[in-house]
Structure 1
């Protein structure tokens, strides 16, 4: 068959399964973003639904259109009718991280700085746009150097750092939201584990995630209307559909300055998407669809930038499940349908309506599952000898989890938090100051620690020392171990008081260990024949 004259089919029956799976994934993430911002941080709902969501959904549309076109081109070139498009959607870890670690805290911070709710919401939205532009630009540049990055940073460090965030921030925090409506949340979560982990058989031929959403939502409203639900149950008010065209705006420029304190989070978020894109390309190639890695990464970067320029606040990524969609029978049409459904839903408002009617106790379990899956992947996809390095990478994220809870102004007044932070005793640095300093920049910290331990396991002590010296340099300017409770970066000579002591103690710790490992590395290599 002449491949130039071959015309692949745009839609096959399997595309319907792929469509539901991809749409549910994106709706669950949008729903949790809304639940976190509106429910936890009391963020104005109209800003979330009419300003943040349209641009965010547009990024999903643009990315899926590009991936659909790439699949069609590959099918034409190869003369194959079984090519499956690369699925693209909102990235769960970084999207939830944006809501819980960037947008929500910044909204509270703007209000504490004296802005009224409307002005604080506008400033937060502009910060979200600017964050996407920063991450999208980084991904655009790194898309040409992705392979070099994966060679420089061990997989255990890359996966371990995000695995720690997944276990604590995507696993534990949404689990609390799940169990706030125990019957609904526990049943939904259990059903998801049945279909996704145990691979249990279903009595109906519909995607398992969709069935879990239907069962959980039915339980929530059924128990609530019968008076058996959790206290405070109420049916959401019907929201009128609102047409919002996500046009390009320069509003992100106003938010660029405010991204500086969050760079220790934003830069690793962008880097992880590049590494993830490389892994996804390899996964698709193994499944028989040979997409050019650089094209996959460029499409991802472009969709993120489009979203940022048009008001979006959550970055897109190619999903790791391309072979799973191929096994479902999906081909070219599912990404086109899903992209149009999400993109147009953001513009016409029906996505916001769906999200408002989906209970948090139904949305949160899928995020918990994603957290577990990413955590398990961190161990499975790394050589067994590097398991301690993966586990080590989890610890800084636990510190950040404690900071999120302890630093919540609704629990502890800011002045009381400051008093705890500055309380010195005879045992060393204050407990809370140590926890905050460890948690700030936790993803980069995890990568530094894990990379150094991998080098030590490989008996490359000189490399471990260099990595630790890099950690000292990053600590000096607050990219990791920032002594600013908000996690901001700074010039070291501007730090005063207790912060100055903490700063130099942590810098000294990295330098001291680097020197020690460098000296130990000068020894004659140990003969490995002793261990039998």
Structure 2
């Protein structure tokens, strides 16, 4: 049979808009912060960083298009969906506020902040590549429900929660498009006579409302052409070498963030596998690291990664075409200065409705492919991620008020019923603590108490070195010691259960031993 993969499907238009604007909103955020908060020169931000982002994301999307095409050809299926790819949200905020920001605020040297960011990204890419060789071991030993529950928690919080808040912040332009997506996609309403994708209708409707009400204006559209040009990335290998002299204090930030990054890629691969697209783990994870390193050499200080959302785009009927179009669009927009023009035509809030759907879809798919007894695992994994979002909101509110959390006394916070210390403890290292706590519960549900105790010791170790619950990695930080001791006690309790109830008895089948989850 002469099979030829049809790489463009009915959902590729929606996926193109959703994935492009998801990444594009991050680019705009980073650009604004670097230009106006850090005071970096436009010649570096617009002329070097943004073009390098375009090249890195183009290369990654081109690779995942090729990978999907190969899988479709191998299995002779037309319903293969490419992995979404771009700049990671947590990596972008981490690099801006935990690496580049502190350097700039301390030295007032924007170029030094840029150099350290590039060096950090290069090291981060190496960590991603190394993580690829641990991926299979992680899949084999970490309970499936904990792995996917952690991913779905991140998706529902950072895509759906954040998106809904922004949509209702500008309700005139985006609530109606949101309900179109809710009815047609989440509600799966009858669309037999509807030829135009609902996502496209929602975006066009949002743009029409924004233009009709004056939210978008001809003046802004005309002024957006001022930045048009052609920007070629430069080679920054020398700057990265110089950055190694300044990078050591930031390794405690880089290492956990990039561990989270390759775990995110791994979870994206697992979610794709759950809906029928089985991609090679190691190769995909290596490519994330390679694009991060290539991007840093060309001037992009932000790591790249596979996004959450593959099941959502697959549910819409997307194939591999959107990945190719998104990559080309990034390249075109980032190399030519079209960034402002796109945002002057389409309101960001109208595009966010697609990301809200993706967050719900990822979580829904996880629940559908998980046995009911593991639902508490998924719910538990959400708690640290939710508090990470709350921490972000609280810190942003403090910054907007012209103050810092450290300058407010505990008594003032207590009187306002704001348990800030508890929020910070749960939020710091949330991605990793969410995964480990969920893994403990999953093992207990399977009555595998020894393994549950081992994960508790993992929590203790991460606490003792400040990787979770603390602002940065440090040996035996105060909060980490307290919680580490508690986790050790929990481990002893679980080991006791193992000796009493489990040792010498055959194990019941767990989710890791069965094909169905």
The residue that corresponds to 1:230 in the other structure is none
CA distance change for structure 1 residues 114 and 520 in 2, over 3 Å: closer, same or farther? same
The residue that corresponds to 1:31 in the other structure is 24
> Partners in 1 of 2:363 and 2:438 — Cα distance?
15
What is the aligned counterpart of 1:490 among 463, 467, 474?
A: 474
What is the aligned counterpart of 2:214 among 224, 238, 245?
A: 224
The residue that corresponds to 1:149 in the other structure is 138
> Partners in 2 of 1:275 and 1:341 — Cα distance?
26
Equivalent residues in 2 for 1:436-451, closer than 5 Å: 436-451=424-439
What is the aligned counterpart of 1:53 among 50, 69, 74?
A: 50
Equivalent residues in 2 for 1:62-211, closer than 5 Å: 62-70=59-67, 87-91=82-86, 95-104=88-97, 109-110=102-103, 112-113=105-106, 115=108, 119-120=109-110, 122=111, 125-126=114-115, 129-130=118-119, 132-200=121-189, 201=191, 205-211=195-201
> Partners in 1 of 2:102 and 2:486 — Cα distance?
31
CA distance change for structure 1 residues 132 and 88 in 2, over 3 Å: closer, same or farther? farther
The residue that corresponds to 2:493 in the other structure is 516
Give CA-to-partner distance per residue, 1:48-89, whole Å, 9 cap, x none: 5444432222223213333454566677778x6x65775244
The residue that corresponds to 2:363 in the other structure is 375
Equivalent residues in 2 for 1:400-439, closer than 5 Å: 400-408=388-396, 409-411=398-400, 413-414=402-403, 417-420=406-409, 431-439=419-427
Aligned-pair CA distance for 1:180 = 1.9
Structure 1, unaligned runs of 5 or more: 228-232
Find out whether 1:246 has 2:246 as its counterpart. Answer: no
Aligned-pair CA distance for 1:450 = 0.6
> Partners in 2 of 1:235 and 1:391 — Cα distance?
44
TM-score by length of 2: 0.80
The residue that corresponds to 1:362 in the other structure is 350
> Partners in 2 of 1:340 and 1:310 — Cα distance?
18
Match of 2:224, SS state, is coil
Structure 2, unaligned runs of 5 or more: 507-517
CA distance change for structure 1 residues 369 and 226 in 2, over 3 Å: closer, same or farther? closer
Aligned-pair CA distance for 1:224 = 1.5
Aligned-pair CA distance for 1:446 = 0.6
Aligned-pair CA distance for 1:186 = 0.7
CA RMSD of aligned residues (A): 3.9
CA distance change for structure 1 residues 24 and 225 in 2, over 3 Å: closer, same or farther? closer
CA distance change for structure 1 residues 455 and 63 in 2, over 3 Å: closer, same or farther? same
> Partners in 2 of 1:329 and 1:397 — Cα distance?
28
Q: Mean alpha-carbon deviation: is it higher for 438-447 or for 462-471?
A: 462-471
> Partners in 2 of 1:77 and 1:455 — Cα distance?
36
Match of 1:521, SS state, is helix
Aligned-pair CA distance for 1:325 = 6.3
1:136/1:270 contact within 8 Å kept: no
> Partners in 2 of 1:356 and 1:125 — Cα distance?
28
Aligned-pair CA distance for 1:394 = 1.0
Aligned-pair CA distance for 1:395 = 1.0
Aligned-pair CA distance for 1:444 = 0.5
> Partners in 2 of 1:447 and 1:168 — Cα distance?
15
> Partners in 1 of 2:72 and 2:157 — Cα distance?
41
CA distance change for structure 1 residues 421 and 138 in 2, over 3 Å: closer, same or farther? farther
Q: How many residues align?
A: 488
Match of 1:15, SS state, is coil
Find out whether 1:265 has 2:257 as its counterpart. Answer: yes
CA distance change for structure 1 residues 525 and 157 in 2, over 3 Å: closer, same or farther? closer
CA distance change for structure 1 residues 510 and 191 in 2, over 3 Å: closer, same or farther? same
CA distance change for structure 1 residues 319 and 455 in 2, over 3 Å: closer, same or farther? closer
> Partners in 1 of 2:73 and 2:372 — Cα distance?
41
What is the aligned counterpart of 1:503 among 473, 480, 501?
A: 480
Aligned-pair CA distance for 1:178 = 1.4
TM-score by length of 1: 0.78
Equivalent residues in 2 for 1:302-321, closer than 5 Å: 302-312=290-300, 313-317=302-306, 321=310
Aligned-pair CA distance for 1:108 = 5.1
Match of 1:277, SS state, is helix
> Partners in 2 of 1:28 and 1:295 — Cα distance?
26
CA distance change for structure 1 residues 88 and 303 in 2, over 3 Å: closer, same or farther? farther
Aligned-pair CA distance for 1:157 = 1.6
